[in-house]
A and B are shown apart, each in its own frame.
Chain A
Amino acid sequence: MTTTAGTMRKLTYREAVREAIREAMHKDERVFLMGEDVGRYGGCFAVSKGLLEEFGPERIRDTPLAESGFTGAGIGAALGGMRPIVEIMTGNFSLLAADQIINTAAVLLHMSGGQFNVPVVIRLATGGGRQVAAQHSRSLEGWFAHIPGIKVLAPATVNDARGMLWTALEDPDPVLIFENSNLYNMEGPLAVEAGAVDIDRARVRRDGRDITIISYGASLFKALEAAEILAKDGIEVEVVDLRTLRPLDEATFLASVARTHRALVVDEGWRSGSLAAEISARIMEGAFYDLDAPVARLCTAEVPLPYAKHLEEAALPQVAGIVALVKKMVGGHG
Chain B
Amino acid sequence: MPRSDIAVTDSLESLSILDEHGNLDRDLEPQLSKARLLELYRAMLLGRRFDERLLDLQRQGRIGTFPPIKGQEAAQMGAVFNLRPSDWFVPAFRETAAEIWRGRSLESIILYFNGFNEGGLVPEGRKDLPIAIPVGSQVLHAVGLGWAARYRQTDEIVMTFFGDGATSAGDFHEGLNFAAVYQTPVVFVCQNNQWAISVPVSRQTHTPTLAQKAHAYGMPGIRVDGNDVLAVYAAAAEAAERARSGGGPTLIECVTYRVMMHTTADDPKRYRSEEEVAQWQQRDPLPRFAAYLQQKGTATEPQLAEMETGVMEEIQAAVDAAEKRMGELGDPLAMFDHLYAEMPPQLEAQKSALARELADGGKEVDDE
Contact = CB atoms under 8 A, between A and B. Distances in A.
B178 A80 contact: no
B147 A73 contact: yes
A82 to B, nearest CB: 5
A79 B174 contact: no
Interface in A32-67: 32, 58, 63-64, 66
A284 to B, nearest CB: 14
Interface in B138-160: 139-149, 151-152
Contacts of B20: none
B121 A149 contact: no
A201 to B, nearest CB: 11
Nearest to B151: A58
A72 B143 contact: yes
Interface string B337-360: 111110011110000000000000
Nearest to B90: A76
Contacts of B61: none
- Please report whether the interface of chain B is mostly helix, strand, loop or mixed according to DSSP: helix
A66 B177 contact: yes
Contacts of B139: 72
Contacts of B137: 72, 99-100, 103-104
A100 B140 contact: yes
Contacts of A113: 117-121, 338
A70 B148 CA distance: 13
Contact of B144 (A74, A112, A171): A74
Contacts of B152: 81
19 contacts: A64-B174, A68-B174, A69-B140, A69-B143, A69-B171, A73-B144, A76-B140, A76-B141, A76-B144, A77-B147, A80-B145, A82-B147, A103-B134, A111-B117, A112-B117, A112-B338, A114-B337, A173-B341, A251-B345
A195 interface: no
A115 B142 CA distance: 18
Interface residues of B, number: 42
Nearest to A69: B174
B268 interface: no
B144 A110 contact: no
A173 B342 CA distance: 9
Contact of A104 (B134, B170, B345): B134
B91 interface: no
Contacts of B133: 103
B362 to A, nearest CB: 19
B175 to A, nearest CB: 6
Given A100-B171, A250-B346, 6 more contacts: A70-B178, A72-B137, A76-B144, A84-B144, A104-B134, A109-B339
A307 interface: no
A269 to B, nearest CB: 20
A108 interface: yes
B141 A72 contact: yes
Contacts of A247: 344-347
A245 to B, nearest CB: 12
A7 B146 CA distance: 45
A146 B142 CA distance: 28
Contacts, number: 141
Contacts of B341: 109, 117, 171-173
Nearest to B143: A73
A109 B130 CA distance: 10
A75 interface: yes
Contact of B129 (A64, A79, A99, A114): A79
Contacts of B178: 63-64, 66, 69-70, 73
Contacts of B170: 66, 68-69
A224 interface: no
Contacts of B146: 76
A87 to B, nearest CB: 15
> Can you list the 8 inter-chain pairs with the closest CB atoms, starting with the nearest?
A76-B144, A72-B140, A69-B174, A80-B148, A76-B141, A247-B344, A114-B338, A73-B144
A316 to B, nearest CB: 29
A32 B148 CA distance: 10
A148 B346 CA distance: 11
B133 to A, nearest CB: 8
A114 B344 CA distance: 15
A70 B184 CA distance: 13
Contacts of B216: none
Contacts of B119: 113
B134 A81 contact: no
A63 B337 CA distance: 35
A250 B122 CA distance: 37
Contact of A80 (B88, B121, B175, B340): B88
Given A72-B144, A103-B134, A248-B346, A149 B339 contact: yes
B57 interface: no
A117 B342 CA distance: 11
A101 to B, nearest CB: 11
B181 A64 contact: yes
Contacts of A110: 117, 337-339
Nearest to A247: B344
Contacts of A148: 339, 347
Contacts of A81: 148, 152
Given A69-B175, A70-B178, A109 B338 contact: yes
Contacts of A111: 117, 120, 130
Contacts of A114: 117, 337-338
A32 B130 contact: no
A148 B151 CA distance: 31
Contacts of B151: 32, 58, 77, 82
A165 interface: no
A77 B340 contact: no
Contacts of B141: 72-73, 75-76, 79, 104
Interface in A222-263: 247-248, 250-251
Q: Which of A32, A73, A74, A111 has the most CB of B within 10 A?
A: A73
A288 interface: no
